[in-house]
């Protein structure tokens, strides 16, 4: 049975109204010990249900959520993601914040979720089970008390982004607009583009906890982004185009001819608005670590970029090296580790895990590891890392000092 977190999204206005409620993608939670529990599920055979259904849940939240007065006075808005478990009896337990916005907003989300009545529990094979949920709640001030985020993005482009330039650097997706009458939307997911003279890399946030950041990465369109204006491009004029591009942002317009979920209606142009404001430090650090060779440290030989050669396996009493299916890299700096797993080298499809790290005398420790990962130096440019898995089997890996793949280095230049 697949485990993880079921997510729903709630948008909360200061007057405690809810504008929408819908299913969202599962949050990658690979480093959570709770997720590893055999008794907690994300996708049971029968889903848990709030008494009275979704409309009743929305009414409950509408009646009980109160916009914190200090945030209202200071016009502070934000998005909180709260995780909780619906146990076998239907009781809501273990609420916790997995993405913070502001202490007052965080506390309000915890307060209201803790008030929920019992749900009908989820079932697997006819038996009640514990089910994990994550509930993003966006606190937004009513129109007139605060400029909407959509209007803020529009003003940014009207005032600062009117030049005909090529985009360059790291940008955050701020808004999505459409050619039909559908209203522009602020994305509930975090997406970034890193644009160089050679390529455009797309990054999507998959989750964070305890300063650990998980992201996906891929080559966006197989080429660099160049200013086109709103002139038709490509076959039948349906190619990508870049316009309203300056030093603070740009618009990326593309035609969607396939089903792309809630945000991307089919058979029309989609415009993504990107800006350089409000980019988290962790995301900037990830780009920085990949863009430049980390300088070796005479006091710590691990600082640098390492490529996994393979796993050491025992065959008939002899150790042999088995190559992995994916290209894996570790980038160690003095206080952080970036793990890169490349599943498709041509399109640079990868999973990135950024984590603080603590070096020990015999290895290193990071937050999602249950114990110290020990290592043995084979020479100055090669080490063996080993750990013990849940079945008490020793796992050995060989890593060698190596630059990142050439096409990734070119994409980052």
Residue 60 has a pLDDT of: 85
Residue 222 has a pLDDT of: 87
Which of 81-90, 127-136, 361-370 has the least mean pLDDT?
A: 361-370
Burial 291-306 (b: 16+ CB within 10 A, else e): eeebeeeeeeebbbbb
User: pTM of the entire structure?
Assistant: 0.67
Residue pair 72/131 in contact by the 8 Å Cβ criterion: no
Helix and strand numbers (H, E) in the chain are 6, 24
Tokens coding 365 = 């420790």
Cα-based distances in Å from 67 to 18, 75, 87, 109, 316 = 12, 11, 29, 10, 66
Residue 199 has pLDDT above 50, yes or no: yes
pLDDT tens, position by position, 326-364: 789 999 998 889 999 999 999 999 999 998 888 888 888
Tokens coding 297 = 């440290």
Residue 295 has pLDDT above 50, yes or no: yes
Question: What value does the mean pLDDT take over residues 224-245?
Answer: 89
Cα-based distances in Å from 56 to 45, 52, 121, 281 = 22, 5, 16, 39
Task: Please name every residue paired with 201 in a beta bridge, in sequence order, or none if there are none.
Answer: 194, 219
Question: What value does the mean pLDDT take over residues 385-395?
Answer: 63
Confidence band (pLDDT; 50, 70, 90) for 393? low
Residue 1 has pLDDT above 60, yes or no: no
Residue 128 has a pLDDT of: 93
Q: Which residue has the tokens 């070096």?
A: 359
Beta strands in 186-322 (DSSP E): 191-195, 200-209, 212-219, 241-246, 249-256, 268-275, 304-315, 318-322
Q: How big, in percent rounded to 5, are the helix, strand and coil portions of the chain?
A: 15, 45, 40
Tokens coding 237 = 């004029």
Residue 34 has a pLDDT of: 38
Beta strands in 100-196 (DSSP E): 122-124, 127-140, 169-178, 191-195
Residue 208 has pLDDT above 60, yes or no: yes
Residue 5 has a pLDDT of: 46
Residue 6 has pLDDT above 60, yes or no: no
Confidence band (pLDDT; 50, 70, 90) for 368? low
| Rg of the chain over all Cα atoms, to the nearest angstrom | 24
Closest CA to 106 of 143, 133, 76, 86: 76
Helices (H), ranges, 149-280: 149-160
Residue pair 177/184 in contact by the 8 Å Cβ criterion: yes
Please state the length of the chain: 413
Long-range contacts, 26-32 (Cβ 8 Å, 24+): 27/81, 27/98, 27/134, 27/206, 27/207, 28/4, 28/206, 28/207, 28/214, 29/4, 29/5, 29/207, 29/209, 30/214, 30/368, 31/209, 31/210, 31/212, 31/367, 31/368, 32/209
């Amino acid at each position: 049975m697949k485990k993880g977190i079921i997510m729903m999204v709630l948008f909360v206005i200061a007057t405690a109204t809810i504008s929408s409620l819908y299913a969202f993608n599962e949050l990658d939670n690979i480093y959570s010990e709770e997720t590893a529990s055999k008794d907690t599920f994300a996708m049971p055979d029968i889903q848990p249900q709030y008494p009275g259904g979704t409309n009743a849940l929305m009414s409950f939240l509408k009646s009980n959520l109160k916009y914190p007065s200090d945030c209202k006075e200071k016009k502070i808005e934000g998005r909180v993601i709260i995780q909780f478990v619906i146990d076998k009896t239907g009781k809501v337990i273990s609420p916790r914040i997995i993405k913070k916005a502001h202490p007052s907003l965080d506390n309000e989300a915890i307060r209201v979720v803790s008030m929920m009545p019992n749900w009908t529990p989820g079932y697997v094979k006819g038996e009640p089970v514990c089910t994990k949920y994550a509930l993003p709640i966006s606190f937004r001030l009513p129109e007139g008390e605060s400029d909407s985020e959509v209007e803020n993005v529009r003003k940014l482009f009207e005032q600062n982004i009117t030049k005909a330039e090529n985009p360059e650097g790291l940008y955050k997706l701020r808004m999505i607009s459409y050619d039909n009458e559908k209203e522009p939307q602020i994305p509930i997911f975090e997406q970034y583009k890193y644009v160089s003279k050679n390529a455009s890399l797309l990054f999507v946030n998959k989750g964070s906890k305890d300063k650990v950041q998980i992201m996906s990465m891929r080559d966006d369109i197989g080429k660099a982004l160049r200013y086109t204006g709103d002139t038709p491009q490509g076959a039948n004029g349906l190619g990508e185009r870049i316009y309203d591009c300056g030093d603070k942002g740009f618009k990326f317009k593309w035609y969607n001819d396939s089903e792309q979920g809630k945000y991307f209606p089919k058979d029309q142009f989609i415009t993504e608005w990107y800006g350089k404001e409000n980019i988290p430090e962790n995301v900037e650090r990830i780009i920085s670590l990949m863009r430049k060779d980390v300088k070796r440290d005479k006091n710590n030989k691990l600082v640098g970029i390492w490529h996994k050669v393979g796993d050491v396996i025992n065959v008939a009493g002899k150790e042999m090296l088995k190559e992995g299916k994916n290209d894996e890299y570790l980038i160690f700096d003095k206080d952080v580790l970036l793990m890169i797993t490349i599943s498709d080298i041509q399109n640079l499809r990868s999973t990135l895990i950024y984590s603080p790290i603590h070096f020990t005398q015999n290895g290193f420790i990071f937050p999602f590891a249950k114990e110290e990962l020990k290592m043995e130096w084979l020479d100055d440019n090669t080490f063996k890392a080993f750990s013990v898995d849940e079945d008490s089997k020793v796992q050995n890996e060989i890593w060698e000092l190596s630059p990142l793949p050439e096409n990734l280095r070119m994409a980052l230049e």
